[in-house]
Structure 1
Amino acid sequence: MTWVTDPVLAFIPSFSFPAPLLATAEAESGPLVLAGVLLSLVIVYLASKVGGEICARIDLPPVLGELVAGVVVGVSVMHLLIFPEGGEDGSHSLLMLFLQSTANLSPVAFPQVFQAQSEVISTLSEIGVIILLFEIGLESDLKELLRVGMQATLVAVVGVVTPFVLGTAGLMVIFDVPAVPAIFAGAALTATSIGITAKVLAEIQRLSSKEGQIIIGAAVMDDVLGIIILAVVASLARDGKVEVGNVIYLIVSAAVFLIGSIWVGRLISPLLVDLINNMKTRGQLLLTALMFAFTLSYIATVIQLEAILGAFAAGLILAETEKQRDLEEQVIPIADMLVPIFFVVVGARTDVGVLNPLVPENREGLIMAAFLIVVAFVGKVVTGLAVFGQPGINRLAIGVGMVPRGEVGLVFAAVGSSSGVLSKSLEAAIIVMVILTTFLAPPLLRVVFSRELSGTSEAPALQDARTEAVSLVPPSDLVELEQAEPEAK
């Protein structure tokens, strides 16, 4: 047996190719790896735009379209974008077959090119999720997080603990799922997509209502708690076992890292701003911010946490500087280039065929998916019961507003997929849960508010406008209006 000497491909055995052919294959594979990566990016970007445009036109998050498009071009349907999980050698990849037929890719170099091309796309996907969490942190308001009221905090805690406990315990007891994958799936149930809920609340003019403010505040807190949980369970997935001491260490280290990095970052951020202001070259703001984000991501990785926690902390810190708006505008093109790779790759790696009801072996996966969907709804709807001291408030609306998982749930699924801790059926079940909660929550939120809206004589926006208009009337004129009103009647 001979072995490929390329460090990226050193683990690929070769049984029949002599050393001269392998040397030739390595020389040949370089430009063809680049060609494969370029073709992969064409497929990724085309799929992301088609899927995103379709969802945008039916009032659904574009990221959901990117996920579904990834499923279509991936292992489940078209086999255009395939990764070497489960012993896949690239022979079923239409992209690799196209490359072989158009670029004269030899059989000797074929596995090397496939492996290297997959590694590059996977790495770009991981950088994409780091940029995504940096952007989320940059769009968050740390002061608002600190000002979140007791009501929103309690709703967030209930919305995290309830689905996590129900999901983890149910998978372990009912389906005999091992502890680490069960904890990972339970953690995926804790997510809440603030973007989806905020958009619906704005459309029905309930964003400034008591319910809307509690939902948004709780969703923001939910994101922070969820990212800490993700860092913890991802670290557990790397270790492959659950130890109480290790769990406590990870939780404490995640909290200390997040709080400490924000505290230190707030001290040094003025120095960063001064440094940026004194630079004369192009890209000084963006590159300095990315260096800061990547440094915190590196530190998080070194202390056995997830890189995304460092990126999120960097975004929170820089969001408090005077450069926040300019930086947010400059990060958008970078995110537009890298984040779709992340979502499409998540979908491409997901084999929804494991949920085919016609295959008897898949029925447990289908039941598991149904269980996760029920827990996903129940675990968030009960959060409305945590609201106290608010007579007449729509508790059901608060619970439903916390249901959609959206892009946050996809982050959990992707990290679980890349860690290899999730079985194919459990990974597909999580993806189905994310898709259904994201699809169903917006219309349900409109329904639970509809009775209240129909029973109101004036729409909230009109009431707000009337109040503002009255406040602009001089007091003397207001007295005259009040005196004239009975006469008019």
Structure 2
Amino acid sequence: MNFINPLSKLISHPFLGTATPSEYSPIVLTGVLLSLIVVYIASKLGGEISRKIDLPPVLGELVAGVIVGASALHLLVFPEGGAEASNSVVIGLLQFINNLTPDAATSIFEAQSEVVSVLAEIGVIILLFEIGLESDLKELQKVGYQATVVACVGVAVPFIAGTVGLVYFFHFPVIPAIFAGAALTATSIGITSKVLSEIGQLKSREGQIIVGAAVIDDILGIIVLAVVASLAKTGEVDIVNVIYLIVSATTFLIGSILLGKFFNKSFVGIADKLQTRGNIIIPALIFAFFMAFIGNAIHLEAILGAFAAGLVLDETDKRKELDEQVKPIADILVPIFFVTVGARVDLSVLNPAIPSNREGLFIAIFLIAIAIIGKFVTGWAVFGQPGINRIAIGVGMIPRGEVGLVFAGIGAASGVLDKPLQAAIIMMVILTTFIAPPLLRVAFKEPAEPQKPVEKPVDGVTDS
């Protein structure tokens, strides 16, 4: 996904003939602006209503996205979800105002959707950069081994249970079952970390374990996705690619954090020498985007690079100033991500009146149960942490969000998933994404495990 695509589509599309990009660029821009108006109104209304009923604002943004998206108002729809230009209210308005041909409307719809998608991707990069800044690297390192265990359990349990269950109970072929099982492994770090930040638990022991596990879970998810994608294409796993992903992911995260210790002084020195506005935020964004670029370039995720950049800069003397300067940027871009996640969801797959959905509903019930239980048990994978809130950790790992939708999309595009199984995966993603934020808030209100009583010294003698 890149910024050149929308323009190149307009230039290369055959219906345009000799038209110059400048003739259609204003229409694409108008569509993007209308889409952003929809996004911001939806995010504010959803967030405010959610806050009034004591729920995380991010949940309100997701629900608002569903309302304005493919499930209801069709104000914000995307071609990759199967929508056409005729399904978009925004494109219909542009078509009426500019007297566009159907072919022109289609091309403009694709270009406008691509731009909004790019903005959403930048939004999630900024979100993970902000989360990295708010995280404490020292605390994260303390729970590193715990987070690794939680992540491994959270990937292995739902993957094995989902795959085996689909093969033995629903008689699916092995490859589609493996693909669906892989879709159960993902955890949406964006959604969970945002909720943790909103309820003031991001720096708690539980919050650090959840965030650390979600990052590792994302890496494991990428590796699993690479394995199942190669399996779908060739029927066999490319071992060399799997080894490459494991080595590059580990090297990237550890290396970026180690090198960051040397970068800290340079960053402060650069910021002090710059005299114009943005002397702190601009170098920080350059670093975050560079790290995101490296992550993408080595076939990992841009969000992992942004998160690592945030962790590194959290150690600098400029951290507090940087925290404050990132917030307005996040307020502008992050809502685009959450609203578009909701807008891409089509709740029509839940309609049992449609015969093709009924089979998917039964499969979905099974996948949802595995998705929730498979992540919930991760809270009991934590050891050596007396007084830890295991329920909160388990709940924090539940949401699949955009990551699960990526699995469903790739599976459908490759032809591995039939419609009932694809619908079931989408339902699983919807439910886990929406139930996790309110459950996480409730979980942190629950008392943690009682601390072990400290034995009082007897006769003035203490244990050495």
> Would you say same fold, with TM above 0.5?
yes
Cα 1:387–1:115, aligned 2, differ >3 Å: closer, same or farther? closer
Instruction: Using the TM superposition, give the Cα deviation of residue 160 of structure 1 relative to its aligned residue in structure 2, in angstroms.
Output: 4.4
Paired residues of 2:123 and 2:334 also in contact (CA < 8 A): yes
Instruction: Using the TM superposition, give the Cα deviation of residue 80 of structure 1 relative to its aligned residue in structure 2, in angstroms.
Output: 1.1
Q: Secondary structure at the match of 1:322?
A: coil
Amino acid in the other structure paired with 1:276: A
How big is each residue's C-alpha offset from its partner over 1:343-370, in whole Å with a ceiling of 9 and x where there is no partner?
1111111111112122121123323332
Q: Where does 1:422-437 land on structure 2 (aligned, <5 Å)?
A: 423-437=422-436
Amino acid in the other structure paired with 2:293: Y
Tell me what 1:275 maps to: 270
Work out whether 1:439 is the aligned partner of 2:430: no
Q: Distance in 2 between matches of 1:179 and 1:11?
A: 40
Paired residues of 2:127 and 2:334 also in contact (CA < 8 A): yes
Gaps of 5+ in 1: 15-20, 457-489
Cα 1:377–1:129, aligned 2, differ >3 Å: closer, same or farther? same
Tell me what 2:260 maps to: 265
Cα 1:40–1:220, aligned 2, differ >3 Å: closer, same or farther? closer
Which structure's CA Rg is the greater one? 1
Tell me what 1:32 maps to: 27
Q: Secondary structure at the match of 1:281?
A: coil
Q: Distance in 1 between matches of 2:125 and 2:8?
A: 25
Q: Distance in 1 between matches of 2:8 and 2:146?
A: 54
Q: Distance in 1 between matches of 2:382 and 2:78?
A: 46
Tell me what 1:232 maps to: 223
Paired residues of 1:343 and 1:410 also in contact (CA < 8 A): no
Q: Distance in 2 between matches of 1:366 and 1:317?
A: 45
Work out whether 1:413 is the aligned partner of 2:411: no
Q: Distance in 2 between matches of 1:200 and 1:122?
A: 28
In structure 2, which of residues 351, 358, 367 is the aligned counterpart of residue 363 of structure 1? 358
Gaps of 5+ in 2: 1-5, 414-421, 452-464
Amino acid in the other structure paired with 2:286: M
Q: Distance in 2 between matches of 1:6 and 1:398?
A: 49
Work out whether 1:398 is the aligned partner of 2:390: yes
TM-score by length of 2: 0.81
Paired residues of 2:210 and 2:397 also in contact (CA < 8 A): no
Query: Bigger CA drift: 147-156 or 281-290?
Result: 147-156
Tell me what 1:7 maps to: 8
In structure 2, which of residues 325, 341, 347 is the aligned counterpart of residue 346 of structure 1? 341
Tell me what 2:176 maps to: 178
How big is each residue's C-alpha offset from its partner over 1:279-300, in whole Å with a ceiling of 9 and x where there is no partner?
1111121111111111111112
Work out whether 1:220 is the aligned partner of 2:215: no
Instruction: Using the TM superposition, give the Cα deviation of residue 250 of structure 1 relative to its aligned residue in structure 2, in angstroms.
Output: 1.0
Instruction: Using the TM superposition, give the Cα deviation of residue 32 of structure 1 relative to its aligned residue in structure 2, in angstroms.
Output: 0.8
Query: Bigger CA drift: 129-138 or 22-31?
Result: 22-31
How big is each residue's C-alpha offset from its partner over 1:109-166, in whole Å with a ceiling of 9 and x where there is no partner?
3222212111111111111111111111111111111122866664554344333433
Paired residues of 1:159 and 1:190 also in contact (CA < 8 A): no
Cα 1:54–1:300, aligned 2, differ >3 Å: closer, same or farther? same
Q: Distance in 2 between matches of 1:310 and 1:421?
A: 28
Q: Where does 1:76-475 land on structure 2 (aligned, <5 Å)?
A: 76-85=71-80, 88-107=83-102, 109-148=104-143, 154-155=149-150, 157-171=152-166, 174=169, 176=172, 178=176, 181-182=179-180, 184-188=182-186, 193=192, 196=195, 213=205, 215-233=206-224, 235=226, 241=233, 242-386=237-381, 398-405=390-397, 409-413=400-404, 415-416=406-407, 423-443=422-442, 446=445, 449=447
Amino acid in the other structure paired with 1:56: R
Instruction: Using the TM superposition, give the Cα deviation of residue 269 of structure 1 relative to its aligned residue in structure 2, in angstroms.
Output: 2.3
Instruction: Using the TM superposition, give the Cα deviation of residue 184 of structure 1 relative to its aligned residue in structure 2, in angstroms.
Output: 4.2
Quote the RMSD (CA, aligned, Å). Answer: 3.5
Cα 1:261–1:238, aligned 2, differ >3 Å: closer, same or farther? farther
Amino acid in the other structure paired with 2:185: A
Residue-pair matches, total: 430
Amino acid in the other structure paired with 1:303: I
In structure 1, which of residues 62, 67, 91 is the aligned counterpart of residue 57 of structure 2? 62
Amino acid in the other structure paired with 1:81: L
Instruction: Using the TM superposition, give the Cα deviation of residue 232 of structure 1 relative to its aligned residue in structure 2, in angstroms.
Output: 3.0
Paired residues of 1:297 and 1:309 also in contact (CA < 8 A): yes
TM-score by length of 1: 0.77
Instruction: Using the TM superposition, give the Cα deviation of residue 322 of structure 1 relative to its aligned residue in structure 2, in angstroms.
Output: 0.9
Amino acid in the other structure paired with 1:426: I
Identity of aligned residues (%): 48
Amino acid in the other structure paired with 2:391: G
Amino acid in the other structure paired with 1:7: S
Paired residues of 1:81 and 1:93 also in contact (CA < 8 A): yes
Q: Distance in 1 between matches of 2:225 and 2:152?
A: 20
Cα 1:114–1:398, aligned 2, differ >3 Å: closer, same or farther? same
